[in-house]
A and B are shown apart, each in its own frame.
Chain A
Amino acid sequence: MPPRRSLWAIYKGIEPRHRVLLGMGFMGFSMLGIWVSDRLEKRFPAPADSRVTHRAPANAARPHATTTTQNYYPEPGRQAAMAGRGPQMPMMQPQVIVLKEGTDTSQGMPQLLSNISACIAVCDTIRTTLGPRGMDKLIVDSQKRVTISNDGATIMKLLDVVQPAARTLVDIARAQDAEVGDGTTSVVLLAGELLKEVREYIEEGVGAQVIIKGLRKAADLAIDHIRELAVSVDRSDAAEFRALLEKCAATSMNSKLIGSQKEFFTKIVVDAVMRLDQEELNEDMIGIKKIPGGAMQDSLLVDGVAFKKSFSYAGFEQQPKAFDSPTIVCLNVELELKAEKDNAEVRVDKVSEYQAVVDAEWKIIFDKLDSIVAAGANVVLSRLPIGDLATQYFADRNIFCAGRVSKDDLDRVCEATGCRVQSTTTGLTAAHLGTCERFEERQVGGQRFNIFRGCPRAKTCTIILRGGAEQFIDEVERSLHDSIMVVRRAVKNQAVVAGGGSIEMELSRYLREAARQIEGKQQLIISAAARALEVIPRQLCENAGFDTTDFITQLRARHAQDPKRFRWHGVDIDEEAVADMFAKFVWEPAVVKINAISSAVEAACLVLSVDETVTSQRAQDPMANAQPAPGRGRGMPMMG
Chain B
Amino acid sequence: MSAVYTTDEYGRPFIIVREQDKKARTTGIEATKAHIMAAKTVANIVRTSLGPRGLDKILISPDGDITISNDGATIMSQMAIENQIGRLLVELSKSQDDEIGDGTTGIVVLAGALLEEAEELLDRGIHPIRISDGFEQACKLAVAHLDKVSDVIPWSKDNTSDLFKCAKTSLGSKIVNKCHDQFAQIAVDAILAVADLERKDVDFELIKMEGKVGGELADTELVRGVIIDKDFSHPQMPKEVKDAKIAILTCPFEPPKPKTKHKLDITSVKEFEELQKFERDAFEGMVRRVKECGANIVACQWGFDDEANSLLLQHKLPAIRWVGGPEVELLAIATNGRIVPRFEDLSSEKLGYAGTIREVTYGTTNESMIVVEDCANSKAVTVFVRGGNKMIVDEAKRSLHDAMCVVRNLIVDNRVVYGGAAAEISCSIAVDKAADQVSSIEQYAMRSFARALDAIPMALAENSGLPPIETLSFVKSQQIKQGITSLGVDCMDTGIHDMKEQFVFDPLISKRQQFLLATQLVKMILKIDDVIVHRADEE
Which A positions have Cβ atoms within 8 angstroms of B? 1, 63, 84-86, 110-111, 113-114, 117-118, 121-122, 124-125, 128, 132-133, 135-142, 144, 146, 148, 150, 158-163, 166, 257, 260, 292-297, 313-318, 337-341, 343-352, 354-355, 357-358, 360-362, 388-389, 392-393, 395-396, 442-443, 445-446, 467-472, 475, 544-545, 626-628, 630-633
- B339 cross-chain contacts in A, Cβ below 8 A: 314-315, 318, 388, 392, 395
Q: Does B151 contact A (CB under 8 A)?
A: no
Q: Does B65 contact A (CB under 8 A)?
A: no
Do B521 and A468 touch across chains, with their CB atoms under 8 A apart?
Answer: yes
Question: With A124-B3, A354-B278 as given contacts, are A472 and B99 in contact (CB-CB < 8 Å)?
Answer: no
Taken together as a complex, chains A and B put the C-alpha atoms of A166 and B6 apart, in Å, by 12
Q: Which residue from chain A places its CB closest to the CB of B324 in the assembled complex?
A: A314
Taken together as a complex, chains A and B put the C-alpha atoms of A544 and B8 apart, in Å, by 32
Q: Does B79 contact A (CB under 8 A)?
A: no
Other than the known A114-B9, A166-B16, A293-B98, what 20 A-B pairs have Cβ atoms closer than 8 Å? A135-B128, A142-B22, A162-B17, A260-B136, A314-B328, A314-B339, A317-B333, A318-B333, A337-B259, A344-B260, A346-B260, A347-B265, A351-B275, A351-B277, A354-B255, A358-B258, A395-B339, A469-B95, A544-B127, A631-B537
Do A140 and B523 touch across chains, with their CB atoms under 8 A apart?
Answer: no
- B338 cross-chain contacts in A, Cβ below 8 A: 318, 392, 395-396
Do B95 and A339 touch across chains, with their CB atoms under 8 A apart?
Answer: no
Q: Does B62 contact A (CB under 8 A)?
A: no
Taken together as a complex, chains A and B put the C-alpha atoms of A633 and B529 apart, in Å, by 26
Nearest CB of chain B from residue A62's CB, rounded to whole Å: 8
Question: With A113-B9, A388-B325, A468-B91 as given contacts, are A140 and B533 in contact (CB-CB < 8 Å)?
Answer: yes
Do B250 and A388 touch across chains, with their CB atoms under 8 A apart?
Answer: yes
Do A159 and B333 touch across chains, with their CB atoms under 8 A apart?
Answer: no
- A341 cross-chain contacts in B, Cβ below 8 A: 260
Do A140 and B532 touch across chains, with their CB atoms under 8 A apart?
Answer: yes
Do A121 and B6 touch across chains, with their CB atoms under 8 A apart?
Answer: yes
Binding stretch for chain A, among B46-54, B425-433, B470-478, B512-520: B512-520
- A392 cross-chain contacts in B, Cβ below 8 A: 250, 338-341
Binary interface profile of B, 349-388, with partner A (CB < 8 Å = 1, else 0)? 0000000000000000000000000000000000000000
Question: With A135-B129, A137-B531, A628-B19 as given contacts, are A388 and B9 in contact (CB-CB < 8 Å)?
Answer: no
Binary interface profile of B, 159-184, with partner A (CB < 8 Å = 1, else 0)? 00000000000000000000000000
Q: Does B450 contact A (CB under 8 A)?
A: no
**Which of B1-58 touch A at CB < 8 Å?**
3-4, 6, 8-22, 31
A interface: dominant SS? mixed
- B92 cross-chain contacts in A, Cβ below 8 A: 468-469
Nearest CB of chain B from residue A334's CB, rounded to whole Å: 12
Q: Does B201 contact A (CB under 8 A)?
A: yes
Do B16 and A162 touch across chains, with their CB atoms under 8 A apart?
Answer: yes
Do A162 and B528 touch across chains, with their CB atoms under 8 A apart?
Answer: no
- B524 cross-chain contacts in A, Cβ below 8 A: 136, 148, 257, 469, 471-472, 475
Taken together as a complex, chains A and B put the C-alpha atoms of A295 and B515 apart, in Å, by 9
Do A136 and B3 touch across chains, with their CB atoms under 8 A apart?
Answer: no
- B275 cross-chain contacts in A, Cβ below 8 A: 351
Do B22 and A292 touch across chains, with their CB atoms under 8 A apart?
Answer: no
Question: With A146-B84, A345-B262 as given contacts, are A351 and B271 in contact (CB-CB < 8 Å)?
Answer: yes
Do B301 and A314 touch across chains, with their CB atoms under 8 A apart?
Answer: yes
Q: Does B329 contact A (CB under 8 A)?
A: yes
- B154 cross-chain contacts in A, Cβ below 8 A: none
**Which of B400-436 touch A at CB < 8 Å?**
none
Nearest CB of chain A from residue B387's CB, rounded to whole Å: 26
- A361 cross-chain contacts in B, Cβ below 8 A: 258-260
Taken together as a complex, chains A and B put the C-alpha atoms of A181 and B264 apart, in Å, by 64
Do B329 and A314 touch across chains, with their CB atoms under 8 A apart?
Answer: yes
Q: Does B157 contact A (CB under 8 A)?
A: no
Q: Does B534 contact A (CB under 8 A)?
A: yes
Do A357 and B260 touch across chains, with their CB atoms under 8 A apart?
Answer: yes
- B206 cross-chain contacts in A, Cβ below 8 A: 317
- A292 cross-chain contacts in B, Cβ below 8 A: 91, 94-95, 98
Q: Does B261 contact A (CB under 8 A)?
A: yes
Q: Does B235 contact A (CB under 8 A)?
A: no
Taken together as a complex, chains A and B put the C-alpha atoms of A111 and B8 apart, in Å, by 8
A-B complex: 6 closest residue pairs judged by Cβ atoms:
A446-B98, A114-B8, A293-B99, A135-B529, A295-B516, A469-B91
Q: Does B205 contact A (CB under 8 A)?
A: yes
Do B528 and A344 touch across chains, with their CB atoms under 8 A apart?
Answer: no
Do A135 and B527 touch across chains, with their CB atoms under 8 A apart?
Answer: yes
- A132 cross-chain contacts in B, Cβ below 8 A: 129
Taken together as a complex, chains A and B put the C-alpha atoms of A366 and B532 apart, in Å, by 57
- A159 cross-chain contacts in B, Cβ below 8 A: 17, 532
21 A-B interface contacts by CB (under 8 A):
A121-B4, A121-B6, A137-B528, A137-B530, A141-B534, A142-B537, A162-B17, A294-B513, A314-B250, A314-B339, A318-B338, A337-B259, A338-B259, A346-B260, A395-B338, A445-B99, A468-B91, A469-B92, A544-B127, A631-B537, A632-B18
**Which of B90-139 touch A at CB < 8 Å?**
91-92, 94-96, 98-99, 127-129, 133, 136
Taken together as a complex, chains A and B put the C-alpha atoms of A137 and B17 apart, in Å, by 16
Question: With A446-B98, A630-B537, A630-B539 as given contacts, are A161 and B255 in contact (CB-CB < 8 Å)?
Answer: no
Partner of A110, one of B9, B13, B262, B528: B9
- B340 cross-chain contacts in A, Cβ below 8 A: 392
Q: Does B269 contact A (CB under 8 A)?
A: no
Q: Looking at A338, A340, A389, A468, which has the most chain B CB atoms within 10 Å of its CB?
A: A468
Q: Does B228 contact A (CB under 8 A)?
A: no
Q: Which residue from chain B places its CB closest to the CB of A362 in the assembled complex?
A: B342
Nearest CB of chain A from residue B204's CB, rounded to whole Å: 9
Taken together as a complex, chains A and B put the C-alpha atoms of A111 and B274 apart, in Å, by 89
Taken together as a complex, chains A and B put the C-alpha atoms of A396 and B31 apart, in Å, by 59
- A355 cross-chain contacts in B, Cβ below 8 A: 256
Partner of A297, one of B6, B88, B259, B516: B516
Do B261 and A346 touch across chains, with their CB atoms under 8 A apart?
Answer: yes
- A354 cross-chain contacts in B, Cβ below 8 A: 255-256, 258, 264, 278
Partner of B18, one of A111, A136, A162, A445: A162
Taken together as a complex, chains A and B put the C-alpha atoms of A362 and B342 apart, in Å, by 10
Q: Does B263 contact A (CB under 8 A)?
A: yes
Do B15 and A626 touch across chains, with their CB atoms under 8 A apart?
Answer: yes
Nearest CB of chain A from residue B444's CB, rounded to whole Å: 15
Taken together as a complex, chains A and B put the C-alpha atoms of A338 and B536 apart, in Å, by 44
Q: Which residue from chain B places its CB closest to the CB of A444 in the assembled complex?
A: B99
Nearest CB of chain B from residue A391's CB, rounded to whole Å: 8
Q: Does B234 contact A (CB under 8 A)?
A: no
**Which of B243-293 touch A at CB < 8 Å?**
250, 255-265, 271, 274-275, 277-278
Taken together as a complex, chains A and B put the C-alpha atoms of A257 and B250 apart, in Å, by 51
Taken together as a complex, chains A and B put the C-alpha atoms of A135 and B21 apart, in Å, by 24
Taken together as a complex, chains A and B put the C-alpha atoms of A354 and B88 apart, in Å, by 59
Do A472 and B16 touch across chains, with their CB atoms under 8 A apart?
Answer: no
Do A161 and B99 touch across chains, with their CB atoms under 8 A apart?
Answer: no
Q: Does B87 contact A (CB under 8 A)?
A: yes
- A446 cross-chain contacts in B, Cβ below 8 A: 98-99
Q: Does B326 contact A (CB under 8 A)?
A: yes
- B14 cross-chain contacts in A, Cβ below 8 A: 114, 118, 163, 626
- B518 cross-chain contacts in A, Cβ below 8 A: 468
- B341 cross-chain contacts in A, Cβ below 8 A: 337, 388-389, 392-393
Do B530 and A128 touch across chains, with their CB atoms under 8 A apart?
Answer: yes
Q: Does B332 contact A (CB under 8 A)?
A: yes
Taken together as a complex, chains A and B put the C-alpha atoms of A345 and B263 apart, in Å, by 7
Taken together as a complex, chains A and B put the C-alpha atoms of A294 and B512 apart, in Å, by 10
Nearest CB of chain B from residue A162's CB, rounded to whole Å: 5
Nearest CB of chain B from residue A225's CB, rounded to whole Å: 32
Do A345 and B261 touch across chains, with their CB atoms under 8 A apart?
Answer: yes
Taken together as a complex, chains A and B put the C-alpha atoms of A348 and B250 apart, in Å, by 25
- B18 cross-chain contacts in A, Cβ below 8 A: 160-162, 628, 632-633
Q: Which residue from chain B places its CB closest to the CB of A119 in the assembled complex?
A: B16
Do A315 and B329 touch across chains, with their CB atoms under 8 A apart?
Answer: yes
- A139 cross-chain contacts in B, Cβ below 8 A: 531-533
Q: Which residue from chain B places its CB closest to the CB of A360 in the assembled complex?
A: B258
Nearest CB of chain B from residue A367's CB, rounded to whole Å: 15
